[in-house]
């Protein structure tokens, strides 16, 4: 039996509103509401026409994270956005810490 998997690399992916909504299995209105709440995109873009919005892979991952948080904790979009911000900050700090530790280990090897 043959199993085919459709996949795309998210690294350089750019999605419009409809593509993001379809990819994340949410409505256009859900995306628009979250942009208007300041949870997606930046303020400059959120005031423009939704048809002109372009989302990157970071936005895709953030939408997936917010969907999960809203569902799992039955919370409103603002709280889900705050939790997503905290998770992203922790991930960033862990990445920096690992890089610092690697640099320290490399320095110790050459001593």
Q: For the residues of 20-31, what is the DSSP string, one character each?
A: HHHHHT--HHHH
pLDDT over 70 for what percent of the chain? Answer: 83
- Give the residues across from 54 on adjacent strands: 16
- Domains of the chain plus CATH, in order, are 15-109 (1.10.1660)
Structure tokens of 31?
A: 């995306």
- 3-class state of residue 15 by DSSP: strand
Write down the H helix ranges in the chain. Answer: 17-24, 28-36, 43-46, 57-73, 77-109
Give the per-residue pLDDT at 87: 96
CA distance 83 to 75: 10
State the CB neighbour count (10 A cutoff) for residue 77. Answer: 18
> What is the tens place of the pLDDT at every residue in 41-100?
766 666 688 988 999 999 999 999 999 999 999 999 999 999 999 999 999 999 999 999
**pTM for the whole structure:** 0.76
State how far the Cα of 37 lies from the Cα of 43, in Å rounded to an integer: 10
pLDDT digits (tens, 9 = 90+) for 11-29: 678 999 999 999 999 999 9
């Amino acid at each position: 039996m043959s199993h085919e998997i459709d996949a795309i690399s998210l690294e350089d992916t750019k999605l419009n509103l409809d593509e993001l909504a379809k990819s994340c299995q949410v409505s256009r209105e859900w995306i628009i509401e979250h942009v208007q709440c300041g949870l997606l995109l930046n303020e400059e873009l959120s005031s423009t026409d939704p048809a002109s919005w372009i989302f990157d892979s970071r936005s895709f991952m953030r939408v997936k994270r917010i969907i999960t948080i809203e569902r799992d904790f039955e919370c409103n979009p603002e709280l889900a956005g705050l939790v997503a911000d905290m998770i992203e900050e922790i991930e960033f700090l862990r990445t920096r810490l690992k890089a610092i530790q690697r640099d320290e280990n490399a320095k110790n090897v050459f001593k």
